[in-house]
Chain A
Amino acid sequence: MSEVQSKTKAPSEPLFSKKNRKLITDPLTDNNPVTVQVLGICSALAITVKVETAVVMGASVIFVTALGNLVISLLRNIMPSRIRIIVQLVVAAALVIVVNEILKAFLPDVSEQLSVFVGLIITNCIIMGRFEAYAMANKPWPSLLDGIGNGAGYAGLLIIVAAVRELFGSGSLYGFKVFGNAIPGSETGLYTMGYVNNNLVILPPMALIIVGIIIWVQRSRNKSLQESH
């Protein structure tokens, strides 16, 4: 990213200054919206059976957080504070509708699998949380980066969970059969040796347990995140 560091807007700080880069990278790890800030788990986990749906969902959330943050940040000085929350909700809902309509038109199969969970991005706490906590008080450009970062942190977690579940549950990754053909009668690869897919991983509750384990790993590495009781 260093070559992009050239100063485009004169006296202010460079577009990808260290501080701005941190806006993107921080939410990916130590300030992850899901595992640390505990935001936005609601709409996340039911769609992590397959990597493909998780990728589309993640991209949708990045789109909404980034553009939403940008719009809110642009409007922050002309917005009447009394109807602040309503304006935020309308912006979020409108962007989600845009995503939903586009998915329905261009990715109909994925859209069907995501079903109501696209709509639930509206109440995803990450969106409202970032609007209120960051975009209302910052300039458009950092807000956009903050939105991308938080959306990406969320998407990253979704994809990790989905990869674990798809690999062990269906023996594939992004639809590609890693362990061979599992269809009874014509097994290939690992399945000829008696390997069986773990159906438990596909069931919804396992998503929670996997997130629990991810949190465990993260907090063992970073002691400052541990809770006291």
Chain B
Amino acid sequence: METTLDIFVKAIFSENMIFAYFLGMCSYLAVSKTVKTAVGLGAAVIFVLIVTVPVNWILENYLLKAGALEWLNPAWKDVDLSFISFIMFIAVVASIVQLVEMLVEKFSPSLYGALGIFLPLIAVNCSILGGALFMQERQYSTFLDVTAFSMGSGIGWAIAIIFIAAIREKIRYSHIPAPLRGLGITFIITGLMGIAFMSFMGITYVDEPKKEKKVGTTMIEDASVLRADVSDSSFKTGK
């Protein structure tokens, strides 16, 4: 089973929204010309993801999923509304973005100045809806896990856009073949960064027992760990 930390780290690095799934590429390409705007958009994405994904998770688990309405009325345990989940998710995203924009404008004009222009862009950012859909597909079972996942995805996305913006600021002074300028080179750099990020894959197994000792002894240790895992002390292994 995945630990919460595992989910968080994985969402930032090995399952990075940009480098592994290419989500939110439109705004990633459009708003990555300077680091300053990239930081603003990155922060806004983190913020919106942390709010929308858990809200969608609550909706999914208490409203849409097969049997999710049971808490309202036991007779509804066969009701399955999951077919409208796409509309639900996109509506939640759009309305929360609107709500956040209004709240930020009212209570923190300085933050609004920094994030304001980016918020409307975010409603159609694939990474936000993608976060909700991945949440649905992977069936995270606790609220904590979902929050960790949404935060990790947001941070991963922000890291990606800030990095590419920094590179694009420098690359302006390089001699790039004319047809590759702009879009082409950005794609290729993103691809190379994605390959670099793949080297983070090994860190997914933070809960794996250490394997690098002598084979003979670890085998037995592992087995006893696994048995304890399954038996929960009531089951004698007969040792």
Cβ B25 vs Cβ A42 within 8 A = yes
A17 interface contact, C-beta 8 A: no
Contact indicator A120/B23 (Cβ below 8 Å)? yes
Residues in B neighbouring A40, C-beta threshold 8 A:
26
CB of B146, distance to nearest CB on chain A (Å): 15
Residue of A nearest to B178 (CB): A226
Q: Is A162 an interface residue (CB 8 A)?
A: no
B residues near A93, Cβ cutoff 8 Å:
86-87, 90
Cβ-defined contact, B192 with A42, below 8 A: no
Asked whether any CB of chain B lies closer than 8 Å to the CB of A198, the reply is: no
A213 to B179, CA, bound (A): 10
Q: How large is the interface on A (under 10, 10 to 19, 20 to 34, 35 or more residues)?
A: 35 or more
Q: Determine the distance from Cα of A166 to Cα of B191 in the docked complex, in whole angstroms.
A: 18
- In the complex where A116-B134, A209-B188, A216-B177 touch, is A101 in contact with B129 (Cβ < 8 A)? no
Binding site secondary structure of chain B: helix
Per the CB 8 Å criterion, the residue count for chain B at the interface is 49
Q: Which residue of B83, B134, B188, B195 is within 8 Å of A101 (Cβ)? A: B83
Pairwise interchain contact B124-A128, C-beta atoms closer than 8 A: yes
- Supply 17 further A-B pairs (C-beta < 8 A) apart from A93-B90, A120-B129, A212-B180: A41-B25, A89-B90, A93-B86, A101-B83, A116-B130, A119-B86, A119-B89, A119-B133, A123-B130, A204-B19, A204-B22, A209-B187, A211-B187, A216-B184, A217-B179, A226-B182, A227-B181
Residues of chain A at the chain B interface (Cβ within 8 Å): 35, 38-46, 85-86, 89-90, 93-94, 96-97, 100-101, 115-116, 119-120, 122-125, 128, 203-209, 211-213, 215-220, 223, 226-229
Residue positions of B touching A, CB distance < 8 A: 19-26, 29-30, 83-84, 86-87, 89-91, 94, 124-130, 133-134, 136-137, 172, 177-188, 190-195, 198
